[in-house]
Amino acid sequence: MLRFSIEQVVWQEVPGEVSLAYTITGCTLGCKGCHSSETWDANRGTLLTDEYFEQRLNQYRGLISCLLFLGGEWQSTELQRKLKLARRQGLRTCLYTGLDDIEPKLKAELTYLKTGRWLPERGGLDSPTTNQRLVDLRTGQSLNHRFIR
Ligand code: SF4
């Protein structure tokens, strides 16, 4: 089962979208300098049951345009199910992963995908030297330029 440590509405993570975001616990990548190492323990956080999730989607109906998962690809089947529920409500979907790629089945449920682990010397999406990429999967285009100020 997926567990989340943070649930919040965010504006900056996916350009042009108002996203309901869940930080999923249990990341195993162990990036040096990770800003959320307290979320590595998969036993921490609140269970994201279908019931609770659908209730939240109903509450936010009309207020959000996108559903964002920060991690969770390590439970791909479960994540796919949640993404399907969000898409059924007409939401766009995004995953932030530290991996360089994910399995096609999971990708098929996403509108946007951010890839690449955290490398402090390269920086995040707002850095011109970053190894990370945020792609609009509908067009295959990188949205990184939207983060550079
Ligand atoms: S992928 Fe993200 S959450 Fe996971 S260790 Fe790296 S920076 Fe931390």
Q: Which tens digits make up the pLDDT trace of 90-129?
A: 999 999 999 999 999 999 999 999 999 999 999 999 999 9
* Cα 62 to ligand 1 centroid, rounded to whole Å: 31
Is there a contact between 109 and 127 (Cβ–Cβ < 8 Å)?
no
Tokens 């036993």, residue?
43
Q: Quick check: CB of 98 below 6 Å from ligand 1?
A: yes
Spatial separation of the C-alpha atoms in residues 12 and 81, rounded to whole Å: 25
Overall number of domains in the chain: 1
Q: At what angle do helices 50-59 and 76-88 cross, to 10 degrees?
A: 30
Residue whose CA is closest, atom 8 of ligand 1? 34
One-letter amino acid of 137: L
Q: Which amino acid residue places its CA nearest to atom 1 of ligand 1?
A: 98
Ligand 1 centroid to 81 CA: how many Å?
A: 23
**How far apart are alpha carbons 57 and 89 in whole angstroms?**
8
Cα(29) to ligand 1 centroid in Å equals: 6
* pLDDT, tens only, 30-67: 999 999 999 999 999 999 999 999 999 999 999 999 99
Are 80 and 105 contacting, i.e. CB atoms less than 8 angstroms apart?
Answer: yes
CATH code of the domain in which 7 resides: 3.20.20.70
Q: Is 82 in a helix, a strand, or coil? A: helix
Note the pLDDT of residue 149: 78
Instruction: Return the pLDDT at 15.
Output: 97
Instruction: Determine the structural domain holding residue 125 and report its residue range.
Output: 3-147
